Structure 1
Amino acid sequence: MNVRRVVIGTGPAGESVVVSDESAPRSHDFVHTPGYGYAIMWDSPADLRLPFDGIDRSLATDIFFPMPGETRFLAMSIPPDSLFTSAEFDAAAAAAEAIEYTPGAGEIFAGEIFEVDNPDMHETPTVDYSIVFDGEVWLELPGGGEAHLTRGDVVVLQDARHAWRNKTDSPATMYGVMVGANK
């Protein structure tokens, strides 16, 4: 995903300054899941100290989901569900690519990324604050409940099994902050 990220910090005299203005450097548009992509916009450690030390931790993050006390700000594009039922979709290649580009997710998803009976149903050890930026998504819960979300809708997700569904013909874009929690 090509998302512009402007980082503001404090200069030597205490003034506010632009530290960087560029596309988020840690992003991926998936080859085997066209329409799915993400950009890690920012990553903050549990022991966050101010002023900003100039280190972009999103570049060094070695696990996709934040650890307890850490935060991660993401942009995410969700493809239409029809992709997953098309004859051209290679679930094994898509799963391998997802594990490669979302380090640590394999352990969290425990093989559930592309379940035949319940695709993409998962649970993460985080509290997530998500907003639909463009398009429509359905937040599906394992008991059959769902919430239809459109542009501007906000979800607060607290360590609950869920799946994001896109029942339209166009990708949807979401932004969110994940906060790592203790389990």
Structure 2
Amino acid sequence: MNQELEQPTTEAPHTTESQTVTNSGKAASENKMREVFIEKVILSCGGVDKELEKAKALLEYLVPERKPQVIASTKRIPAFNVRPALEVGTRVTLRGAKALELLKKLLGGIDNTLKEKQIAPNHLSFGIKEYIEIPGMEYQREIGIRGFNTTVVFARKGIRVNRKKIKQGHLAEKQHVTVPEIMTYLKDNFKTHILPRRRKTEE
């Protein structure tokens, strides 16, 4: 009698649900397109005539390697004697490692504490009342006592899609940086303390 040869059967490896979740989470964490980074840090200060010169001197003192850009008005506001093309402020923009270094120093001027309401999708803003509150900054007589505003812009890779002049595309909603993601970034990279927003209590 001919004996039938039995072929060995190979069973597919059993994959548990927990392993699937772990692998997908690992893949998501390694996705470079999902990484959040600081695109730029903008310092701005307002003023007209002599006050504008002091504002420019302040930004030059804070960021000596960059020349401040003058901001001109595009509207007419009679109540404030503002007319089109009137120089009403100045600003300076930093990117890369210098922006991170400056932001760390600026956060020291506000005790490394931010309010949740100061954070919005893709950016955050905060003000410093007096520049001498920043660690390492000394009083300058030609500047006096002045404050300024700071805006930090967050982004993900792919932001260039909707900024191109040719074949401009639409940036997907999931590529925007949400408020919780910005809060997590600040806590992980700068150890920043975030004060929660006050919730309205029902009467």
Q: Tell me whether the two structures share a fold, i.e. TM-score over 0.5.
A: no
What range is the shorter-chain TM-score in? under 0.3
Structure number having the greater helix percentage: 2
Bigger Rg, structure 1 or 2: 2
What TM-score do you get using the length of structure 1 for normalisation?
0.24
Structure number having the greater strand percentage: 1
What TM-score do you get using the length of structure 2 for normalisation?
0.23
